[in-house]
Amino acid sequence: RKEVEQDPGPFNVPEGATVAFNCTYSNSASQSFFWYRQDCRKEPKLLMSVYSSGNEDGRFTAQLNRASQYISLLIRDSKLSDSATYLCVGDEALGRLYFGRGTQLTVWP
Amino acid sequence: NAGVTQTPKFRILKIGQSMTLQCTQDMNHNYMYWYRQDPGMGLKLIYYSVGAGITDKGEVPNGYNVSRSTTEDFPLRLELAAPSQTSVYFCASSEDSSYNEQFFGPGTRLTVL
């Protein structure tokens, strides 16, 4: 069974803080992983793909540890606009995504 | 490009009624997907299609049907609505599978009473 486990939060942090989200996955055969962002009552949007070597996109860093079946997302210098739910996502194959419940982040001034 | 569009935005059904959720994409994507999201939960795959004329079941297909007669359209049919089908339904498309971004429509909020 394909599952992604995430701490639902909420995480409440001040502007400028660094915050880290983690998730674990159960399907060791999954090849691709992603972080999606979902604003309240909106559709999910891709934040970044996750690679074993680790990848960075501006203030965001994602990491995949296949041995531990563990995925992380680090957000540096948090902005008010980062407030959203962050979805940890695996790909079963053929683009069949399976989603975690999401981690809610609120950044306060 | 409009991207992925869905209609209607909202709908209330009575138990036993039927309806079709429409999904259209104008990006010429081969892959299309239907997901449902229950409150506080992650999205679950209902059906998917890898091209016109080809559809297959996802994780939660019971109570739904789909068709893919064109590349652009991927409607989702509910034949006998049940309260358990109250959810937000998202349609998505991607150019290819794996490592390709899925683009989601704005969703349809369905309530079955």
Which residue on chain B is closest to A8 by alpha carbon? B40
* Strand partners of residue A50: A33
Instruction: Count CB atoms within 10 A of the CB of residue B97.
Output: 19
Across the interface, whether the CB atoms of B104 and A45 are under 8 A apart is answered yes
Q: What percent of chain A has pLDDT over 90?
A: 76
- Across the interface, of A49, A96, A98, the residue whose CB is closest to B99 is A49
C-beta separation of B107 from B7 below 8 A: no
Pick B106's closest partner by Cβ from A2, A43, A98: A43
Q: What is the pLDDT of residue B98?
A: 64
Rounded-to-integer distance, Cα B15 and Cα A30, Å: 38
Contact A98 B106 (CB under 8 A): no
Distance from CA of B51 to the nearest CA of A (A): 11
Structure tokens at A30: 């999954």
With an 8 Å Cβ cutoff, are B106 and A95 in contact? no
In whole angstroms, how far apart are CA B8 and each of A80, B17, B79, B113? 32, 16, 17, 17
Q: Do A31 and B101 touch (CB under 8 A)?
A: no
What percentage of chain A has pLDDT greater than the value 70? 98
Residue A32's pLDDT band, with cuts at 50, 70 and 90, is confident
Number of other residues whose CB lies within 10 A of the CB of residue A84: 21
Residue pointed to by tokens 């540890």: A65
Whether the per-residue pLDDT at A92 is higher than 90: the answer is no
- Partners of residue B41 in chain A, C-beta under 8 Å: 101
pLDDT at A19: 97
Tell me the pLDDT of chain A averaged across its residues. 92
**Phi–psi pair at B102, nearest 5 degrees:** -95, 130
- Whether B2 shows a pLDDT value over 90: the answer reads no
CB A99 within 8 A of CB A83: no
B69 pLDDT higher than 90: yes
pLDDT at A98 over 80: yes
Chain-chain contact of A101 with B41 (C-beta, under 8 angstroms):
yes
| pLDDT over 90 at A93, yes or no | no
Length of chain B: 113
> Under the phi-then-psi rule, with left for phi > 0, alpha for psi from -120 to 50, and beta for the rest, what region is B83?
alpha
Q: Which pLDDT band holds residue A1 (cuts at 50, 70, 90)? A: low
